[in-house]
Structure 1
């Protein structure tokens, strides 16, 4: 008997402890596995905030799906993934590759500074939201993903190719989290 933890595009399977186990035990297992210290857990569209509450109190049963969303290290910092692409060193790069890297990092910085905090606010709120908020945020994330996808690094530009791949992965994970939350809230009758 296990639960599935969605972490970006990854699907992790964890053995389900006894139902009277506090959430902090599951959180500790996830911290050890992912090496991420600060994250939110979301189940059926609700953020799991009380680490002392039991899995039964959160209605976590075999087959449950939990979303793991990394959070900021500081309260006022934008939320970033622990798998943040590192800026490539300027040594040995062509002017064109450097310009492309700048474009990739600028797009990702925009997502992190404006869309990620908005997504986290939306996910953290237990109250229903106007469907337009979900659609708007989904559309903005999709536009960012399409802009990143349209960038075409040349085959020999390894730094730009890696940065683009990681940026696409991060934005796609945010979009997946939004889609999963919408589906979970719809299934739970919360719109």
Structure 2
């Protein structure tokens, strides 16, 4: 598996998203009308390519603005077990939370998937399958010749990673997110 992930890492994860997927009807999710397909609510200022390049490191820009991915097993947050909140590196929107449960398990939402990227079972403020109040959106991604579900920041459209249906219960989801797309803020005790 690690060898396959390293081989895929060399391939650019590019391609225009076709439409938004997941979430409740009428909110940019499954069941949204054609006028909503692929559209996002615009919040806050939109930066130009050169402004993003000035604001972000080259790796952050590649992943978040050009739909790249970091090398597997290289991300700074892969093994992070601290309590806190993961924010979008581009716009600081809260995306995923992590709560220390005990010394051996970091959270019911962040877990070790063994895939090489930080994994979460749900987005911050998700209520079951309802993701209206979260900081993420889902889009169809066919860039590698197969259909996957891309996860993007609702606020600034940054590419964060992908979500797969092979995660732990109860959601069964695995949000496979690039560390470089995140900024972790520890919870104050």
Report TM bin, short chain. Answer: under 0.3
The structure in which a higher percent of residues are helix is 1
TM-score normalized by the length of structure 1: 0.26
TM-score normalized by the length of structure 2: 0.26
The structure in which a higher percent of residues are strand is 2
